[in-house]
Amino acid sequence: MSDIIVRACLKFIQIILKPVALFFFRTYYRKIDVPRPISKCHDLLLTPGHTLAEKIRNREVTSEKIVGLFIERIKQIQPILNCVVQERFDQAIEEARQVDQIMSNYLIDDKYSKSSAPLLGVPFSCKESIAAKGMPNSSGLVSRKNYTAQEDSAVVKYMQEAGAILICVTNTSECCMWIESSNYITGTTRNPYNPSRIVGGSSGGEACIISACGSVWGIGSDIGGSIRIPSLFNGIYGHKPTLDLVPNDFQFPSFTGIQNKMLSIGPMCRYASDLSHLFKIMCGP
């Protein structure tokens, strides 16, 4: 008897409730659907990060121009997508000018050689939950609203030592614990393919900005899909590294025990060809 009731309920859900729910869902979202609202971008913003680094090193383009193009792109997409928590545009431009000054010299110090600084002059973004000195580090938690990172995490240091330039930190879900990227401090990040859709979480702001050409690559973290899910939702590449290959220090929330063994900081990129370049840097010397 109970089996008959269960089958009848499932049939009712399939035949009656599911079509009704889909009708109301599609009717509601059709009103706010804005497919592909983002304008086309400069060709350099569609260039793999390692190729941009080569162009800078070969003096085909300046770091200041590349950083400036990414900054202008962020200014275009931010009002629509809300992927950035805080920018550091002025500092990034100044650092790009310093790179250009270095590259203008006839002899270049070994510190800035291709082997020592393979990402020289290329901008990157970083998930806000991962500490970058002077930038917010709240993870969307209201009680940490005014908290600022006092030092860089190891992965941010490694990126900067490799010559990359931080341009902004990006939105997360509250405490990095949800499948969307929305919180009570910075709000909801929207999908660049359709702002009525979510970007996934918790590295959703990072996936969004890379997908929308506001950054070519960046840093995310993953304990239960937080790199992989947003990468899927936004059409980019992401990698959750094996335990202990990339340092997990200076991120919030921090974990111990089994949770820490499941947590990994990893690369997020628009192009698969950039993953190995970024991953090697993030593993450290």
CA 90 to chain CA centroid, Å, is 20
Under a CB-based contact definition with an 8 Å cutoff, are residues 136 and 180 in contact?
A: no
Q: What tokens were used for 96?
A: 């790009």
> Is 138 a residue of the active site?
no
User: Quick one: how far is CA 250 from the chain centroid?
Assistant: 17
Catalytic residue among 63, 127, 129, 211: 127
Strand pairing of 84-87 and 165-170?
Answer: antiparallel
CB burial of 139-174 (b: ≥16 within 10 Å; e: otherwise) equals bbbeebeeeebeebbbbbbbbbebbbbbbbbbbbbb
Catalytic choice (226, 231, 240, 264): 226
Non-local (6+) Cβ contacts of 120 within 8 A are 53, 56, 57, 63, 99, 103, 112, 114, 162, 163, 164
Q: What is the dihedral of CA 198, 204, 210, 214, to 10 degrees?
A: 80
* Annotation marks residue 226 as catalytic: yes
Active site residue 215: no
Question: In whole angstroms, what is the distance from residue 172 CA to residue 180 CA?
Answer: 8
Do residues 219 and 264 touch, judged by C-beta distance below 8 A? no
> Considering 153, 173, 182, 202, which one is annotated as catalytic?
202
Return the active site residues: 127, 202, 226
